[in-house]
Amino acid sequence: MTTKRQHPEQGTQPEQLTLLAPAEVPLQFRLDRRTRERGLAHIAEIRRQLAARAAHTPAWQERVDRAA
């Protein structure tokens, strides 16, 4: 999952979001091992799908999508 953040000196750059390490999360928000593994597997699958879509998208179509 990515988001864009404005940096005055850098313009708009994507920022990579990650799951926090369990020690950094308050107890009431911690995930069990199985849920965390399922979440990471889901993120990996979404990344694979996005990479496959990007590999099959013609360059001209990609530019049109960004302009819209």
pLDDT tens digit sequence for 32-54 = 899 989 999 999 999 999 999 98
User: For residue 64, what pLDDT is reported?
Assistant: 55
Q: What global pTM score does this model have?
A: 0.48
Q: Tokens in use for 3?
A: 């988001």
CB 50 within 8 A of CB 65: no
pLDDT, tens digit (0-9, with 9 covering 90-100), for 7-37:
555 556 777 777 667 677 788 888 889 998 9
Beta strands, E only, the chain: 2-7, 11-16
User: For residue 37, what pLDDT is reported?
Assistant: 93
CB 41 within 8 A of CB 32: no
State the pairing for strand pair 11-16/2-7. antiparallel
Where does the pLDDT of residue 2 fall: very low under 50, low under 70, confident under 90, or very high at 90 and above?
very low
